[in-house]
Amino acid sequence: MRILITGISGFIGSHLADYLCQNLQQVEICGLVRPRSSLENLAKIADRLRLLEGDIRDQGSLLKVLATTRPDRIFHLAAQAAAGSSYNLAAETLSTNVLGTVHLLEALKELQLKPVVILASSAEAYGLAYSDELPIKETASLRPLSPFGVSQAAQDLLGFQYYKTCGLKIIRARVFSVLGPRQPVYYPPSSLARQIAEIEKKKGSPVLRLGNLESKKDYTDVRDLVRALWLISEKSEPGEAYNLGSGQAWSGHEMLKLMLGMTRAKMVIETDKTKTVFPEPPILLADISRLSRLTGWKPQINLKQSLLDLLNYWREKA
């Protein structure tokens, strides 16, 4: 089997590559990487991978990579994934996430390839969920609140459309919040962990600057998430959609309390008033019963362990 991962050098992509290397033997793992992108996350498994340069915004490069690899399975993880930044980068976000997905699907159609495609979108596509819709099922309405959320809703719908009209074998994974080692610093838990690690090393002033702590999100450890991605690629039928989450939601206040319990450093906590406040879904909580029935999957790494591993990751880099 030949597997292609777009965004393989990123947070989720690199952990998926780790998982595949550890658990599958008779596979060739190919990865799409943008020119000049950092390969730090892949350093320990680089000899197991076949990396090809390309960009999902350039259909020509995608055609070349797909024609070369002719994969049996594709995990489409490449994206502009910062919801907060998307308010100021709306055009770039939509271009990368929506047109990038179109380029991938059109390239498959042109080459007459029909691998199983796991199209990873985000729970930000659900956006505003009302209390009577919680926990959120796959049948819930999509009411995205950010350009990123809009891009994820469009990507998800494109996957369904190309399945119905072109017969592509697309499975849609609606990923709720993720955390763990290697998480980019634009995610609030990672920003918090890095600040704590730097305060412990006495780098700069001992001030912990925080954004919005009110919204509640459903967090899954990235190492559990990639296991779920693989399971749905094995067991699901094309055209289906699955929520990937933990089934539990935590507020920023609860996350902060847990992380402060992991350090002895003294610090002052301040609200970062320099950050522009954008609307966020008040709560994103997944109903994962459909995923569990299909695969038997359930989280194995609890929130406290995920946060500790994330903090230790930044401690090593501080």
**Distance (Å, rounded) from C-alpha 257 to C-alpha 250?**
11
Three-class DSSP category at 287: coil
**Distance (Å, rounded) from C-alpha 227 to C-alpha 173?**
12
User: Could you read off the pLDDT tens digit of each residue along the chain, which spans 318 residues?
Assistant: 999 999 999 999 999 999 999 999 999 999 999 999 999 999 999 999 999 999 999 999 999 999 999 999 999 999 999 998 899 999 999 999 999 999 999 999 999 999 999 999 999 999 999 999 999 999 999 999 999 999 999 999 999 999 999 999 999 999 999 999 999 999 999 999 999 999 999 998 899 999 889 999 999 999 999 999 999 999 999 999 999 999 999 999 999 999 999 999 999 999 876 666 678 899 999 999 999 999 999 999 999 999 999 999 999 998
pTM over 0.85: yes
Pick 179-217+248-285+300-317's CATH classification: 3.30.420.10, 3.90.25.10, 3.30.70.1230, 3.40.47.10: 3.90.25.10
Name the residue type at position 273.
Answer: K
**Token output for 193:** 């962990």
Residue found under tokens 């559990």: 224
Architecture (CATH level 2) of domain 2-178+221-244: 3-Layer(aba) Sandwich (3.40)
Q: Do domains 2-178+221-244 and 179-217+248-285+300-317 have the same CATH topology?
A: no
User: Measured between alpha carbons, how far is residue 180 from residues 70, 220, 280, 287 in Å?
Assistant: 32, 9, 22, 21
Dihedral (C-alpha) 147, 153, 154, 157: value to the nearest 10 degrees? 180
Give the model's pLDDT for residue 276: 63
Give the model's pLDDT for residue 271: 84
Provide the sign of the torsion angle of the four alpha carbons 137, 142, 143, 149, taken in this order: positive
Give the model's pLDDT for residue 103: 97
Short-list 183, 175, 188, 168, CA closest to 254? 188
Domain boundaries, the chain: 2-178+221-244, 179-217+248-285+300-317
CB-neighbour burial class of residue 92 (10 A; exposed 0-12, middle 13-18, buried 19+): middle
First to last CA, the chain: 39
User: Measured between alpha carbons, how far is residue 51 from residues 6, 22, 65, 268 in Å?
Assistant: 10, 18, 10, 44
